[in-house]
Structure 1
Amino acid sequence: MKVAIVHDELVRKGGAEQVVLSMHKAFPDAPIYTLCYNSERTYPEFKGANIITSWFQKIGKNDKLVKLLFFPFALLAMRSIRLRGYDVVLLSTTHCAKFIRVDKGTTVISYCHTPLRVAWRPWSYENLMNKNWLFRRLFLAGAALLRHLDKFASKRTDFYIANSIGMKAALEEAYHPRNAVTIINPSVKLQNFYVADAVKDYYLVVSRLEPYKKVDLVIDVFNAMPDKKLVIVGKGSQEAELKKRAKDNIVFLNGLDAKQLAQTYAEAKALIFPQQEDYGITPLESAASGRPVIAFGKGGILDTMIPYTYNSAKSTALFFKEQSVQALDGAVKAFEQLHFDPQFIRQYVQHFSENRFIRKIQKFVEEVLPGYYPLKEKFSTHTSHSPYDAIKARS
């Protein structure tokens, strides 16, 4: 079986890139095709992989250039990649990997982290939608064109894998796949994190500093609580603005190595997760450190966390219902009256180990090769749900 892996671009560190690293461990001989690659901006483990880039490598080596030149250059560059002689092409994508060309008999599996956001959810770009009416109309017209191109490219995918229950529904609505969508939750690298003997007196945010991440909401809450400390780890387009907004009880960090990040997680009172994500890896990293999460209760967090209802010792998170200062402020105050069990949280997150993810991906790829049909009947029940479902079923 000859396998190729395709990922949009390797110029950042994030959950999608961690999924690709796990795919690489599942199929270590498979080359990784990608738009562009910058070894200094993504995970160092990629240096041991066979990475093949498109001509876009010459003009774009960071995420800002990928966004700026996405249409039409990134799409054209990915379209220029022609994969020949592979039995299976395994895509990891949020935007352009699906535009590659493959042989007619190749089985294409798309681990789609989300449908292309600018195409299918243009209204979520609040900073663009709030501009003048002419800009907004042009932006929406461009989004409609991208939606058409994205849907056309999606037709080459034979099988979709989603990262969560909510994303399964989103893929079905956007692409109308011809086979049932399978859920395989992304993993967390448990070996990178540990439970500390004692925690310190600060709350934690680990996030890219972008508008939709809602870090400004957390800052506003902690600005009004000067006796409580907040540590924010990350960088992004809002970095200068957010630093200017924050008061003295809020500290910004970036450039942490793996050991420093693990310590920062392990010693935090809790991770605050104010955004709605399609999945979200940072809550799992916090859980791997035995630390609970204060989270906005929508999106992928529903697949990964056990929300507090009446027994905090058997919970991993406290949810708040709306993205408002009042709701988050109330959640932080409520959290301080609860007692979460670090050992229970760490034990629970074992369900999301990388070894489990690797085995599921390997099994899925082996099963969808020609000779395993009829697939539609087999995969109508081939789904993987949150371990929380199993816990509820046993209770």
Structure 2
Amino acid sequence: MKVAIVHDELVRKGGAEQVVLSMHKAFPNAPIYTLCYNSERTYPEFKKANIVTSWFQKIGKNEKLVKLLFFPFAMLAMRSIRLSGYDVVLISTTHCAKYIRVDKGTTVISYCHTPLRVAWRPWSYENIMKKNWLIRKLFLMAATVLRHVDKLASRRTDFYLANSNGMKEAIEDAYKPRNEVTIINPSVKLHNFYVSDKVKDYYLVVSRLEPYKKVDLVIDVFNTLPDKKLVVVGKGSMELELKKRAKENVVFLNGLDAESLARTYAEAQALIFPQQEDYGITPLEAAASGRPVIAYGKGGILDTMIPYTYNSAKSTALFFKEQSAQALDTAIKAFDQLNFDPQFIRQYVQHFSENRFIRKLEKFVEEVLPGFYPLKESFSTTTHTHTPYDVIEARS
């Protein structure tokens, strides 16, 4: 039984790339096909995998070029990949991985992190929606074409996996899949994080510095709270603008190694998560560090956190209802009056361990392909040791 893994591109570090690493651990002998690969910009663990790139590798190996040349070059490059002789093709995608070609009879399982944003949610590009009417019209026309192409490509998928309930609904609305969408929550690398007894006085944001991440909202609030400190970890297109905007109580960091990032999480008062994400891995990383989250209460955060209602010791997050400075300011001041339990938070996040993700993925493949695992040793000699975790009722 032969398996191939396909991912959009490997030129960044993010939640989708962590999912691919978990897939690789489940099927370590499966090659990973991708648009392009930059070993210096993504996780170093990929260096041990068999990475196969498209011809796009010759013209672009960074996130900016992937976005700039996506239509039509990235789409055509992914379309040029023909996978022959595989029984299962396991796709991880937000944009172009679904364009690969496979043999008739190959079972295609797609872990869709989100339907292609530019095609299905073009209005979410606020910077373009603020342009003049001609630019907006051309952009929306292009989005309509991409939506049609994207939906056609989605038909080669036999089974869809989603990261959350909200994303399950989005996949169903966009692609009308012929089989039930199954939710398998992405994991957090628990071994990378720890609980510290030396919590400091700063709040934390870990994010790419892009408009939809709403880091500017957090900075605006902390600009009015000079007695509170904010640490922002990340980089992106808004970096210079945000640094100019911020006052002295806001510190920017980037390029942290794993040890430094873990310490930064472990010693923070709380992670602030102001954006609406399809899933969001950073709240789980904070939880793995025993730290609570102050979050905008929409999107994937609803699947991963236990919101405070009346008992903070049995909660992992405090939600605010609006993406406004007033709502976030109120939440921060309310947080100061609460006492979250770091050990409870760390215990709760065991539900999102990588071993559990791998077990659920293996179980799903076994259910859709009976007899798969008796033949598994033909392509994999790795076994997984699974640690039993105490069950916590998420809404107790």
- Determine the C-alpha separation between the residues in 1 that align with 2:248 and 2:163: 38
- Determine the C-alpha separation between the residues in 1 that align with 2:30 and 2:53: 14
Matched residue SS, 1:269: coil
Are 1:162 and 2:162 matched, yes or no?
A: yes
Are 1:391 and 2:394 matched, yes or no?
A: yes
Note the residue ranges of structure 1 that are not aligned, 5 or more in a row: 373-386
TM alignment of 1:300-339, pairs within 5 A: 300-339=300-339
Equivalent position of 1:121 in the other structure: 121
Are 1:254 and 2:254 matched, yes or no?
A: yes
Equivalent position of 1:137 in the other structure: 137
- Determine the C-alpha separation between the residues in 2 that align with 1:183 and 1:68: 32
1:72 positional shift: 0.1
Equivalent position of 1:342 in the other structure: 342
1:9-33: CA deviation from partner (whole Å, max 9, x where unpaired): 0000000000000000000000000
CA contact (8 A) 1:305 1:388 kept: no
Amino acid at match of 1:86: Y
Equivalent position of 2:32 in the other structure: 32
CA contact (8 A) 1:11 1:61 kept: yes
Equivalent position of 1:273 in the other structure: 273
TM alignment of 1:1-395, pairs within 5 A: 1-369=1-369, 390-392=393-395, 395=396
Equivalent position of 2:385 in the other structure: none
Distance 1:151 1:370, change over 3 A: farther
Matched residue SS, 1:307: coil
1:198 positional shift: 1.6
Matched residue SS, 1:86: coil
CA contact (8 A) 1:88 1:369 kept: no
Matched residue SS, 2:186: coil
- Determine the C-alpha separation between the residues in 2 that align with 1:366 and 1:40: 35
- Determine the C-alpha separation between the residues in 2 that align with 1:193 and 1:389: 20
- Determine the C-alpha separation between the residues in 2 that align with 1:311 and 1:197: 22
Matched residue SS, 2:295: strand
- Determine the C-alpha separation between the residues in 1 that align with 2:91 and 2:294: 32
Runs of 4 or more consecutive aligned structure 1 residues displaced over 6 Å after TM superposition: none
1:388 positional shift: 10
CA contact (8 A) 2:201 2:269 kept: yes
- Determine the C-alpha separation between the residues in 1 that align with 2:368 and 2:77: 28
Matched residue SS, 1:308: coil
For the aligned residues, what is the CA RMSD?
1.3
CA contact (8 A) 1:5 1:32 kept: yes
Amino acid at match of 1:338: L
Matched residue SS, 2:200: coil
1:345-366: CA deviation from partner (whole Å, max 9, x where unpaired): 0000000000000111111112
Matched residue SS, 1:306: coil
- Determine the C-alpha separation between the residues in 1 that align with 2:60 and 2:361: 31
CA contact (8 A) 1:303 1:388 kept: no
1:37-68: CA deviation from partner (whole Å, max 9, x where unpaired): 00000000000000000000000100000000
Amino acid at match of 1:42: T
Distance 1:390 1:170, change over 3 A: farther
1:340 positional shift: 0.3
- Determine the C-alpha separation between the residues in 2 that align with 1:332 and 1:390: 27
1:80 positional shift: 0.2
- Determine the C-alpha separation between the residues in 2 that align with 1:389 and 1:209: 34
- Determine the C-alpha separation between the residues in 2 that align with 1:259 and 1:371: 42
- Determine the C-alpha separation between the residues in 2 that align with 1:133 and 1:61: 33
CA contact (8 A) 1:194 1:262 kept: yes
Equivalent position of 1:382 in the other structure: none
Amino acid at match of 1:391: A
- Determine the C-alpha separation between the residues in 1 that align with 2:267 and 2:140: 44
Equivalent position of 2:377 in the other structure: none
- Determine the C-alpha separation between the residues in 1 that align with 2:159 and 2:237: 35
CA contact (8 A) 2:6 2:91 kept: yes
Amino acid at match of 2:248: D
CA contact (8 A) 2:348 2:392 kept: no
1:390 positional shift: 4.5
1:125 positional shift: 0.3
Matched residue SS, 1:140: helix
- Determine the C-alpha separation between the residues in 2 that align with 1:368 and 1:33: 22
Distance 1:178 1:389, change over 3 A: farther
Distance 1:211 1:21, change over 3 A: same
1:134-180: CA deviation from partner (whole Å, max 9, x where unpaired): 00000000000000000000000000000000000000000000000
- Determine the C-alpha separation between the residues in 2 that align with 1:200 and 1:13: 27
TM-score by length of 1: 0.95
CA contact (8 A) 2:306 2:394 kept: no
- Determine the C-alpha separation between the residues in 2 that align with 1:28 and 1:110: 18
Matched residue SS, 2:86: coil
Matched residue SS, 2:230: strand
1:369 positional shift: 2.0
CA contact (8 A) 1:306 1:388 kept: no
- Determine the C-alpha separation between the residues in 2 that align with 1:390 and 1:331: 25
- Determine the C-alpha separation between the residues in 2 that align with 1:212 and 1:329: 19
1:368 positional shift: 1.3
Tell me the number of residue pairs that the alignment of Structure 1 and Structure 2 aligns. 379
- Determine the C-alpha separation between the residues in 2 that align with 1:142 and 1:388: 48
Equivalent position of 1:383 in the other structure: none
